[in-house]
Structure 1
Amino acid sequence: MDSDDDYNKPTHTQHHGETEEIDLDEKFPNRPRNQSPTLPFHVLFQTLFNPLSEIKKKPAGTARRKVGQSGGASLNPVERRREVIDRFISRWRKEVGDDIYPAFRLILPDKDRDRAMYGIKEKVIGKLLIKIMKIDKNSEDGLNLLNWKLPGQAAASSMAGDFAGRCYTVISKRPMRTEPGNMTIEEVNERLDQLSAAPKEEQQLTILTEFYRRMNPEELTWLIRIILRQMKVGATERTFFDVWHPDAENLYSISSSLRRVCWELHDPNIRLEAEDRGITLMQCFQPQLAQFQMHSLERMIGRMRPTEDDPVFWIEEKLDGERMQLHMDSDASVPGGRTFRFWSRKAKDYTYLYGNGIHDEHGALTRYLKDAFADGVESLILDGEMITWDTEQDAIAPFGTLKTAALSEQRNPYSSSSRPLFRVFDILYLNGRDLTRYTLRDRRNALQKSIKPAHHRLEIHPYEEATGTSEVEESLRKVVAEASEGLVLKNPRSPYRLNERHDDWMKVKPEYMTEFGESLDLVIIGGYYGSGHRGGGLASFLCGLRADDAHSSQGGTTTKFYSFCRVGGGFTAADYANVRHHTDGKWHEWNPRKPPTSYIELAGGDAQHERPDMWIKPEDSVVLCVKASSVSASDMFRIGLTLRFPRFKRLRGDKDWKSALSVQEFLDLKANAEQERKEKEFNVDSSRKKRMKRTTKKPLTIAGYDADAEAQYAIPSGHIFEGLNFYIMTDSVTPVRKSKAELEQLVKANGGKFYQTNSAAPDMICVADRRTVKAASLQKNGTVDIIRPSWILDCIKQSEIDVGMPDLLLPLEPRHTFYATQDRQEQIAESIDQFNDSYARNTTIDELRNILEEMSKNHHFDKPSCPEAIRKLNEHIQEKVNSGWELPIGWLFKGLTFVFPQSERLDDTDLEGSTQISRQHRLHSAGNTARFAGAHVVDSSKSSSVTHIVVAPDASASEISPIRKSWSRKAPQKLPHLVTVDWIEQSWEQRTLLDEEGFQPPKGA
């Protein structure tokens, strides 16, 4: 096997022909050879890119197999993608040869680290195309290319945000050729190598001119996507790798080299040796990534599989820097005796910046690491985050300052006010041994013994041990107070998983936590155009605060808004449509030379920080309810403050610009919030003393309030009742007992307001569970509905379950109604079915038992005896799914046939009894889930229709091997898919069929 240094050297020179071929032969004598020239470039998009893009656009089930293939069953998108890729690879091997690297460089341009970055983005390409096609830059097409995010004219308007699509619209009007050109894939690669090395615009213009002359508009469109490394054809590199070779993904994970994947694994029948499957010193690998938070903290912690014997998980602060891996090796031939290499998460080599040795004069970091390693450490690989440390503030500097700090450190060592700091949180290799298979706890022990931290240069990242959510919430309060990025929860019992997101590492960011930050009502004063699927419309908005004390030049006052924050997250398509509906025709293009200072004031004076693409008068605008994690200082916005992680919550149709938040009101809110936080900290600290001092004599209460009730009563918090007013008249009797004060605190904690009279606020919700004088008086009035406290409790409970729709109120049911008017009763009756089962609320076990008992007593059900009706129902469901409806959960595995071979053999393995029982329980449970979701579960003997073989995730090689052999004999033409039980469980949980590639048994099994 060739050394990694050889693989990292450029393979293309400025010369061509025999010299370059000899050079390649010397460096890579075992590389595969092609017997024929490479395919034409247009074959790539005609047979690969376009078909994959069509599969991405069409919903599953729209394509059918040809007659005679599996009985006409529909192909799922995964199979269709694999078929397209397999056809292309087979054609290449047949017509060209085994060296597919030239094609993969264009298919996966973002994974090819052997070609340097081009240094040109959309605007530069637009300028070059204008020169090549001799277009007036002020013409319609010229403006469409230069302002590609803005809506264009005619056909170009639909391409807003899609630069390549916008280029196609312009080029197709003036093509040099209409039919596909004759450039081969190898020629395109040669020109792209030249483009990446072109130092000036003149050379770039010459190369792009040749492309324009030899390609038709569609070819040029795909070429531009390759240059921008924005393919988005609907298939990931994992799919291409899996079709190419069974070990391709593993080799890429440990090497980050597309060339090695193509050249070392050209024969799918030759597998990687065991010693070649682990990470290697001085060879860039793909790091493990943290999973996004998708659940409550309780579920996140549960997914880390804690046990009674070891319930601990770790909490680390999430650093806002650049992920980096450091490789160190002993080398007696170099000064200092050590060599270093640095790579980023994207496999970019940063050794030139941080240094290759102890005495590297250009190294911003390594010159300080002479004594950073313990005696006996000869070689290691460290994983961590490179951040900037501000020595004057004695704190971490904001994101985006890292490269500047490193260059400053290179020029002025020891005297720079900011410096790169490498915070290490993992060690993966030590003295020739791969540590990725060891647990995180063992790796951290090895790290502590191997590193001697260099103060504010190389440090071990700290962590805290925790066992529950309270520690996470306390850590989140700290990171919010310090304006930090967030947290990462880690499972100390887990191995290191290369190139994978897994539940063993999970991010927790402050914006996900409901108890932090305020909901603020802000006016939209500007808009920014989006790109991609948000192209052509305003995708994010500049929001402002009202400055009522601004004085006009004519005397008196005029209302002006100061820029405050930019909001782009949390919007649905319906939200965007709602904003457009209320502001259509009222937007104005921002003119930097004549800014609308009478209405809007930005930060930075003439610099106009956060300048929007469009602006709108405040009186013509709308008010947004915005949620944020905290307030932070920023000179990019007019008042010097902004929101951290702002997210849109809802449109405030009941408010206008006059009633939205002003600068002074916001400053008052901020001051009050800080005071409340201090008081809360004091109350928490003194709560134990208060409880100890309490005597048996109950203190005096006034109007149903207990002075200590709010501090002592732990209640769920959220925003489900935001904007609602409550008049609570009695305690809760059923289903649980809660006092009037407890109910009022529940309402307040979830965003609502409560009052002590019915007429104190409009649209009052009256609540009672007993016929008191007040309740009887309202009922006698006959115009007011009275609901039971159970509705409040059910809404809160359902919001905790439906994490994707936490602010959705439940409709009223008869069980929630104490008294309702006649019209209201009819409406309430529609929220349940004929068996009193709720359409919107999760039914409890007791309720479900009562419903089933009632059904069995009073209703008779015939078994389904009409296959035609069932067929029509299936067709109807499929039509709805094809038109964009979400697949009903009961049809999730429709048309699939599963077999669980391991569930039939309890004694074939040497697993311990408890482990075997746990495995059998999971397999049995998954079988029930599959049946409920429409699958057919059969015995292994009925093999003719089986589509999936399901095994335990911990299945060993001795278990899997006989299964594969047995099924190979039964179905030699097309083997069923072999997946672990995780695929069924996670597909059910996410309500969609997941890609099976990530749920296959280990390759060695």
Structure 2
Amino acid sequence: MSEHEEDDIEMRDDDAVNEERMMYGHGTLTEQELDEKYPNRPHNHSKTIPFHELYLTLFNPLNDNKKRPSGPVTARKKQGPHGPRTSPNDIRKGIIERFISRWRKEVGDDIYPALRLIVPEKDRDRAMYGLKEMTLGKILVRVMKIDKNSDDGYNLLHWKLPGVKSSSAMAGDFAGRCFEVISKRPMRTSPGSMTVGEVNELLDRLSVAQKEENQQPIIEEFYKRMNAEELKWLIRMILRQLKVGATEKTIFEIWHPDAENLFNISSSLRRVCWELYNTDVRLEGDDKGIALMQCFQPQLAAFQMRSMEIMVAQMNPTEDDPEFWIEEKLDGERMQLHMIEDETMPGGKRFNFWSRKAKDYTYLYGSGFEDDNAALTRHIKAGFNDGVRNIVLDGEMITWDPTQDAIVGFGTLKTAALSEQKNPFAGGNRPLFRVFDCLLLNDVVLTHYTLRKRREALVASINNVHRRLEIHEFTKASSAAEIEPLLRKVVAESSEGLVLKSPRSQYSLNERNNSWVKVKPEYMTEFGEALDCIVVGGYYGSGKRGGRLSSFMCGLRLDEELFPQNTNPQKTWSFFKVGGGFSAADYAELRHRTEGKWLDWDSKNPPKDWIELGGGWERQYEKPDVWIKPEDSVVIAVKAASAGTTEQFKCGVTLRFPRFKKLRLDKDWKSALSWGEFCAVKERAEEEKKEKQFKIDDERKKRTSTKRKRTVVIQGQEDDVHAPYAGPATKVFEGLSFCVLTECLKPKKSKADLEQLIKANGGNVVASDKDPRTIIIADRKLVKVASVVKRDEKNVIRPCWLFDCILQSEIDVGRPGLLLPLEPQHLFYTITAEDGKYDEHVDEFGDSYARDVTAEELLALFGKMPAIVEDGFDGPQLLEQLNEHGHEFNAMPGWMFQGLAMYCEDVSAEVKRFLRFAGGRLVHSLEDDQLTHVVVLAGNLRVREIRKQLASRRRQPRIVTDAWVNDSWVEKTLLDEERYAPV
């Protein structure tokens, strides 16, 4: 390389400099201000790559990889015909790594321009465009100069519908529908020349423009300079719905080891790119925690599990501390408040407010106590104790109606805040900040403290200011039986549900874990078993449900005696909309029974004689995309938590949290629920609710308080280590001390990760191995490990033993506190005196006697086993032994039909194979004394005859369709037979 060429590498390309000025010249900060704020930010040596390279080298390969089979990679999958195969996850990482490597080489270290387009939903520095699908569709119709009533114009403006002469695959995918229309009349067929930098510059202008008439010229410029595929990806970026098969977490992890942590504490993609472009530079100390006036990503509540008992058990209660907290789930906007001392501000304090999506709402709620435009801060001066210099609070901003002294729905929050800004003493709806966590107080970060300690700090710092700033109340509980009464109470008060929290938990940024779990009223059946309602309208879905009806409007028919003026007995009033609880089979069945009978909804000429909507014919609230006559429709059973008043549906009342249960093929529109019948059901439910009293499950509480302490024993040390078992299985390391010397190599876990894992499961982490009872954990022969090995006094255990203990404790919940005995594979080093001692914990092939092996391990074990059957092997005897212990195997998919005797009629050979493989016994006659199930093909005409033949039996076998077998096989568990009873 010549000296001149070396000088060129040191110099930045003029085009790169100009492009950077262009890209960052439309923001709130000038380039000089950016350099002052980020003095070490990287500068690219060359122009950014062409925009089309993003989808050619990154998006399309990632999408192709998405289509590969997922799931655990077994030994067989790993080994292909030409050598080892690569998992989809490894391929995904490889695609991203190659892109990042290419960017560094061809452009430079500033990857911010690219990541703004790759993860647009995480870019908080660019304002929202104010563009949704409908507005974009209108602009594109004008840009392409097509008639909005033409086939293509209709398809763009009705993108959720199947469309006219349009691919049904594109329905529900707006960007895909745009690609389909643009491809017919492209300005360009080959990719354009726009760079990533130029696209960012135009998108900045688009976000500033806001109004349609100002945005149209920018969209038109994109249209002239891009081909159809480029525009498809651009539209996805504008809508912030990229979904390319890789999350920002994966991309951050590959970019820099600390990238995700920095984003969680700052919500700034810019900082992630400009402060962590060098992988040798790591975050340390205070840089890894939340900071004042810096928006962080809050902890989120996990979704509810199968039962309330499981939710409570996952919160790691102990015998000494079984408590968990129950809070009302508020219907508002998640908000964080930051306050610091600032002598330049009137009142001496400065505020900042950010939403969960990192949107700055300070302009709305106020920057100080004396802010005349503040909807909140000027009212809460008395809300902070004198000793509070600075603080960070986490809570929910809700709308409060002072006249009703009640919460108002979420959609009214911004309107109430703007009204409060203009007229703070009018007495109308106002914002109220309910605080439930304190994360920083007087320069001390509290996220690593328990919720109980954080609550103490919150109570000591904040004073309630009536209906302006209030500490959110909670109820202490210790058993799952205490949840439902509170759930019913909040639902009756029109609340969303509850949040359960563990007072022993730390605050986890940008995570959903079992320490916070939200509970919605899906366990409640306020109206008994279900309500049978007629489907009268349908709504097309988007995404995976695109082009098909994904939710439905149900109506109540009008009783003749209550509505004598009604001339059409099939006329209904809109009642509720339901989209949850349907399986793919349910959709298929509903589609099959209503195909060709749906009619398009015409807003100008609605079917007044058939359906009435809320809001009258002028507003037409919740109008469906299509409607259907009751005589052509189906009846569905729906369960709900309760009913509440509404203007959205004609009935004036609607179901809260409706969920589909099943199709009622035995009913028609005449036997569906009517308005009068529903009123009677509602009245009866309200009476029963008043009469019903909820009591704590005393027996469960008694069992908990008298639970016998168990002893935990670990093998492999000179002395047995004993510790009292004081909680659920997740406290598997209770009473044990560990010294972690190295990270874990597979799976890749840092030393800190392992220590956190031990602590989270009840163990104690120490820095020294002097105590003879301390367990040594290591996976590499570093200096400290070599020293332990040289002394030959203690075994060194691999981290995989920790993972196996935790996994087995989750599986074997019936035997809490029992640690796994050590196996040869668990030992990094075995002391001479115990050489060969642990071989007795596995069989001759290495199969563990104490734990459940993974599918990958099982395949490896099979590879070691001989292919011949040894002398003396008695198959029937083995099966008989397994049958004797069937209760231990019934949770296995391969054992689900064990003990069942089934007669099959007209079903496929595949169904019979499933039954045999999973332990079922096929019988050849309905007269068999041990018959438990009859499996028939759906639509079998002999069902009635079979029922008659079985009627005299004392124990009635269950009659199910073959779908019961197939669905049970897919779900890996026995499903309820009632739903699969043949018609």
Q: TM-score normalized by structure 2?
A: 0.71
Aligned residue in 2 for 1:42: 52
Change (3 A) 1:466 1:66: closer
1:395 aligns with 2:406: yes
**Residue 565 of structure 1: how far off its partner (Å):** 0.4
Q: Could you report, residue by residue, the CA deviation over 1:212-256 in whole angstroms, capped at 9, with x for unpaired residues? A: 122111111101100000011121111111111111111111100
Aligned partner of 1:483 in structure 2 is: 494
Query: Which aligned pairs between 1:749-828 and structure 2 lie closer than 5 A?
Result: none
Offset, 1:343:
0.4
2:35: which partner in 1?
25
Matched, 1:176 2:187: yes
| Alignment coverage as a number of residue pairs | 749
1: CA distance, partners of 2:569 / 2:161: 32
| Equivalent residue runs for 1:693-712 within 5 Å | none
Q: CA deviation at 1:26?
A: 3.3
Cα deviation for residue 979 of structure 1 reads 9.5
Matched, 1:963 2:787: no
Mapped to 1, the partners of 2:620 and 2:636 lie a distance apart of 23
Distance 2:496 2:722 in 1: 43
Aligned partner (choices 261, 269, 278) of residue 250 of structure 1: 261
Cα separation, 1, equivalents of 2:804 and 2:255: 26
Q: Which secondary structure does the structure 1 equivalent of 2:482 belong to?
A: helix
**Corresponding residue for residue 879 of structure 1:** none
- Structure 1: which 5+ residue stretches go unaligned? 1-9, 689-711, 716-901, 925-939, 995-1005
- Identify which range, 588-597 or 379-388, moves more after superposition: 588-597
Q: Is the 8 A contact 1:11 1:24 kept in 2?
A: no
- Structure 2: how far apart are the matches of 1:46 and 1:992? 41
1:626-775 equivalence runs, <5 A: 626-681=638-693
Equivalences for residues 351-366 of structure 1 within 5 A = 351-366=362-377
- The 2-side partners of 1:193 and 1:908 are apart by 68
Seen in structure 2, the aligned counterparts of structure 1 residues 520 and 533 have a Cα distance that, compared at 3 Å, is same
Report the Cα distance in structure 2 between the residues aligned to 1:32 and 1:979, rounded to whole angstroms.
42
Structure 2 counterparts to residues 295-314 of structure 1, below 5 A: 295-314=306-325
**Measured at CA, do residues 949 and 440 of structure 1 come closer, stay the same or move farther in structure 2, by a change above 3 Å?**
closer
- 1:118 aligns with 129
1:104 aligns with 2:134: no
Q: Any conservation in 2 of the 1:602–1:608 contact (CA below 8 Å)?
A: yes
3-state SS in 2 of match to 1:650: strand
Aligned residue identity for 2:635: V
1:548/1:559 contact within 8 Å kept? no
Shift, 1:174, TM fit: 1.2
Shift of 1:138: 1.0
In 2, distance between residues paired with 1:308 and 1:66? 45
> Structure 1 residue 517: deviation in Å?
5.8
Displacement after TM superposition at 1:25 (Å): 2.7
> Given that residues 112 and 258 in structure 1 are in contact (C-alpha distance below 8 angstroms), is that contact kept between their aligned partners in structure 2?
yes
Equivalent residue in structure 2 for 1:954, among 758, 762, 778: 758
- Name the structure 1 match of 2:156: 145
CA distance in structure 2 between the partners assigned to 1:679 and 1:68 by the alignment? 65
Distance 1:664 1:592, change over 3 A: same
| Partner-residue secondary structure (3-state), 1:503 | strand
Residue in structure 1 matching 2:242, options 231, 241, 266 = 231
Cα 1:68–1:612 shift into 2, 3 Å? closer
Aligned to 2:393, what secondary structure does the other structure show? strand
The answer to whether the 8 A contact 1:548-1:560 is kept is no
Equivalent-residue separation in structure 2 for 1:518 and 1:66 (angstroms):
46
1:830-856: CA deviation from partner (whole Å, max 9, x where unpaired): xxxxxxxxxxxxxxxxxxxxxxxxxxx
Classify 1:983/1:208 alpha carbon distance in 2 versus 1 (closer, same or farther; 3 Å): farther
CA RMSD of aligned residues (A): 4.0
CA, structure 1 residues 71+303, in 2 after alignment: closer, same or farther (shift >3 Å)?
A: farther
What secondary structure is seen at the aligned counterpart in 2 of 1:55? helix
Paired residues for 1:908-947 under 5 Å? none
Q: 1:530 aligns with which of 538, 541, 544?
A: 541
By how many angstroms is 1:713 displaced? 13
**CA displacement 1:388-419 (0-9 Å, x = unmatched):** 11111111112211111111111111213211
Aligned mates of 1:580, 1:222 — CA distance in 2:
32
Matches within 5 A, 1:310-709: 310-514=321-525, 519-549=530-560, 558-605=569-616, 606-681=618-693
Q: CA deviation at 1:553?
A: 11
**Distance change >3 Å, CA 311–CA 334, structure 1 → 2:** same
The answer for the alignment partner of 1:749 in structure 2 is none
Question: Which whole-Å CA distance do the structure 1 matches of 2:511 and 2:717 have between them?
Answer: 32
The alpha-carbon deviation at position 75 of structure 1 amounts to: 2.4
8 Å contact from structure 2 (residues 266, 294) kept in 1: yes
Aligned residues of 2:502 and 2:516 also touching (Cα < 8 A)? yes
Give me the whole-angstrom Cα distance separating, in 2, the residues matched to 1:270 and 1:537: 50
Q: 3-state DSSP class of the match of 1:357?
A: coil
Q: Secondary structure of the equivalent of 1:658?
A: helix
Residues 970-994 of structure 1, C-alpha deviation per residue, up to 9 Å, x if partnerless? 9xxxx99999559956998999999
Distance 1:533 1:549 in 2: 42
Counterpart position of 2:279: 268
Q: Is the 8 A contact 2:380 2:465 kept in 1?
A: yes
Q: In 2, Cα distance between the equivalents of 1:413 and 1:43?
A: 53
Q: Give the Cα–Cα distance (whole angstroms) in 1 for the partners of residues 853 and 78 of structure 2.
A: 27
Amino acid of the structure 1 residue aligned with 2:278: D
Structure 2: runs of 5+ lacking an equivalent: 1-19, 701-712, 735-740, 760-764, 768-774, 787-797, 814-851, 856-983
In the alignment, the residues of structure 2 paired with residue 115 and residue 675 of structure 1 have an alpha-carbon distance, to the nearest angstrom, of 54
Q: Is the 8 A contact 1:518 1:628 kept in 2?
A: no
What's 2:913 paired with? none
**Cα gap change, 1:177 to 1:978, in 2 (>3 Å):** farther
1:558 offset after TM fit, Å?
A: 3.3
- Is the contact between residue 550 and residue 557 of structure 1 (CA under 8 Å) also seen in structure 2? no
2: distance between equivalents of 1:118 and 1:993? 48
Q: CA deviation at 1:581?
A: 0.7
Matched residue SS, 1:253:
helix
Return the letter of the residue paired with 1:189. N
Please say if residues 318 and 726 of structure 2, whose CA atoms lie closer than 8 Å, have aligned partners that are also in contact: no
Residue 140 (structure 2) aligned to one of 115, 129, 136 = 129
**Cα offset for 1:272?**
0.4
Q: Does 1:158 align with 2:207?
A: no
Write the deviation string for residues 556-599 of structure 1: whole angstroms up to 9, x where unpaired.
Answer: 66331111000111111111111111111111111112111111
TM-score of the two chains, using structure 1 as the length reference: 0.69
Whether the 8 Å contact between 2:79 and 2:85 is mirrored in structure 1 is: no
2:381 alignment partner, SS class: coil
